[in-house]
Amino acid sequence: MSTMSQDQFIQSGLRTVEMETQAVAELRHRIDGAFITACNTLLTCEGRVVVTGMGKSGHIGNKIAATLASTGTPAFFVHPGEASHGDLGMITKNDVVLALSNSGNTAELVTLLPLIKRLGIPLISMTGDANSALAQAASANLDVSVISEACPLNLAPTTSTTVTLVMGDALAIALLESRGFSAEDFAFSHPGGALGRKLLLRVSDIMHEDQEVPRVAPETKLQHALLEMTEKGFGMTTVVDNQGKLLGVFTDGDLRRVIDSKIDLSSAIMKDVMSANPKTVNHDVLAAEALNIMESSSITAVIIENQNAQPIGVVHMHDILRAGVV
């Protein structure tokens, strides 16, 4: 059973947050010339960034490698223990090594230094000791030193790993901005999730086209237009001229307004009851943007129009929801 009171739990948690917050704040003074050198080295890398580290530093290194890779800087993680037993073959002369070690003297990393030097590839380090073997061998050492770990024994890597992670994020974002990395670029690295679908899926990928698009002429009687609406199932129909150009739209909402206005349903024709200037988009608009248009306009379907003002497709809100955009 715990001997700590509820207040002591709270105080312990707050102390950890405050210590790590202060340590991260200290990094602001270390975004300096070494950081610039590291950024330029990584930007000019013709191969990949090989991230390595032991223990908790290795876990942080794995995350940094993943962040770099997903933001436009090809990177992967290599375990230093495995590197000296064959995995060093993954590293080429076009790569850059990013090595993480709080002490800067981790044996498995120090063992790799002669091999890295023999390959003639740049080494960037993140250490807590600028005089360590790793820092001295690096072309740029990023200072991630901390006064103390959050662990009351000053043993478990806590504050130091947080600071290293933040420094890695700072590198990744600086590189992202330098490369002009866009949201669409990010989506190409994340095609499987909702984020990728939101950023990549266009209305042309999910629209109903050709004979599925409801179309009637302006002289079409209302009762016949209702049959077209029912058959196509979108709760609306486009109204087009002889050249197929879009003149307007007639929806379920328009039908309610016609009924309320006491218009003779048996004699009404489309040009008299349609809504002119309907909401349209072109085929390369993102599905997420089309959904925003529908929601802001309180409509359930949007018309896709080509450069000749002809309706070439229809996307219903349900199509976008089924595609998993939201």
pLDDT of residue 160: 95
pLDDT digits (tens, 9 = 90+) for 40-68: 999 999 999 999 999 999 999 999 999 99
**C-alpha dist (Å) from residue 72 to 143, 166, 178, 182, 183:** 24, 18, 10, 9, 11
pLDDT of residue 321: 83
pLDDT digits (tens, 9 = 90+) for 206-227: 899 999 999 999 999 999 999 9
**Domain regions of the chain by residue span:** 6-181, 203-322
203-322 has CATH 3.10.580.10 classification: yes
Q: How far apart are CA 129 and CA 136, in angstroms?
A: 10
* 217 or 81: which leads in pLDDT: 217
- How high does pLDDT run on average in the chain? 89
pLDDT of residue 275: 92
6-181 has CATH 3.40.50.10490 classification: yes
Asked whether 192 and 296 are in contact (CB, 8 A), the reply is no
pLDDT of residue 90: 79
> Do the domains at 6-181 and 203-322 have one common CATH topology?
no
pLDDT of residue 84: 63
pLDDT of residue 193: 55
pLDDT of residue 324: 74
pLDDT of residue 181: 64
Please tell me the total number of residues recorded for the chain in this structure. Answer: 326
How large is the average pLDDT for residues 73-94?
Answer: 81
Convert 196-233 to b/e letters by CB count within 10 Å (16 or more is b): bbbbbbbbbebbbeeeebbbbeeebebeebbebbeebe
pLDDT digits (tens, 9 = 90+) for 171-210: 999 999 888 765 555 555 555 555 556 667 788 988 999 9
pLDDT of residue 154: 80
Q: How far apart are CA 254 and CA 50, in angstroms?
A: 62
pLDDT digits (tens, 9 = 90+) for 103-138: 999 999 999 998 888 889 999 999 999 999 999 999
**C-alpha dist (Å) from residue 234 to 13, 59, 212:** 55, 51, 10
* 151 or 88: which leads in pLDDT: 151
Which of 136-145, 203-212, 315-324: highest mean pLDDT?
136-145
pLDDT digits (tens, 9 = 90+) for 268-311: 999 999 999 898 999 988 888 888 899 998 898 999 999 999 99
pLDDT surpassing 60 at residue 37? yes
